[in-house]
Structure 1
């Protein structure tokens, strides 16, 4: 559920405060897009593991972000294909939100790894908080943060002086 200022996200039944929810009919996220082939995007736009990679805020950038995520998780960090698939889907959702809802010219993508965890961050200049929408079986959109909530171990929003960082974390098995 959406959190503020780096707060860890409560899981259902944990007894902590609920997420900020939007009214029905509010803008919703797009359905997940496919990963596409894992090419060598790190050479073209930079390495999100070394610092924030800035991408133009347009729909085509979701594909670049997916390819970057897949390249880092599969080739650089050598994580499982299933974990990479989930992370690619979640990146696509966060990037879709940044492109669709912020009106920004660019957004930032960064990936971090520490023992037992990976963290993926999408930064944009809007301070508007993302909305966790109630999801119905026949909905064709609005599932983005629902998927982030279900497939990640933790997620949240850090408000910045000029914008926000929306992030998710996933546990990994270190070898």
Structure 2
């Protein structure tokens, strides 16, 4: 739910794809990350704002979506990619020392949130075929069903949601 001065972007799923990732490759590392940093479904997991934290966030997302929630490898791949993009933005553009990762599931939906202390809003920019950077929010916009930003008294939460088929 976009809040206060938030921005919400409902989207339909399209065929956009990015580099392929295999959930089985990092399975052991993902379980170790969960043990070391905590479960983002229980509480927000604080991570240092360093480039290597993107790998930790990807591993946490992988183990939650694939193992804990039992969702498909394809959905896991998409969530891991989008987590990486939101974390990359938090690390590169906010000047924060720490950011938080939170993952929520409710009937028919999953939601991933990245909180940082900056109130600067992310901007969806046009992407050109030969661009080598600046595709993060473009990918979020294409792969997520909804995404947005909730401004907080101290910072913001950038989030995306994806529909899932509950069994």
Q: Same fold (TM over 0.5)?
A: yes
**Paired residues, what number?**
155
- 1:148 and 2:148 aligned: no
Q: How does 1:98-109 map to 2 (within 5 A)?
A: 98-109=90-101
Give SS of 1:133's match: coil
Moved over 3 A (4+): 3-8, 31-36
Verify the 8 A CA contact 1:48 1:111 in the aligned structure 2. Answer: yes
Provide the C-alpha distance between the structure 1 equivalents of 2:145 and 2:103, rounded to a whole number of angstroms. Answer: 15
1:96 to 85, 88, 97: 88
1:57 to 49, 59, 80: 49
Deviates most, 92-101 or 32-41? 32-41
- 1:38 and 2:27 aligned: yes
Q: 1:173 maps to which residue? A: 165
Verify the 8 A CA contact 1:158 1:166 in the aligned structure 2. Answer: yes
Extract unaligned runs of 5+ from structure 2. 13-17
2:64 to 62, 72, 85: 72
Provide the C-alpha distance between the structure 1 equivalents of 2:7 and 2:137, rounded to a whole number of angstroms. Answer: 16
Provide the C-alpha distance between the structure 2 equivalents of 1:119 and 1:71, rounded to a whole number of angstroms. Answer: 15
Structure (1/2) with the larger helix percentage = 2
Q: 1:28 maps to which residue? A: none
RMSD value over aligned CA atoms? 2.0
- 1:125 and 2:124 aligned: no
Extract unaligned runs of 5+ from structure 1. 13-30
CA separation of 1:11 and 1:170: change in aligned 2, threshold 3 A: closer
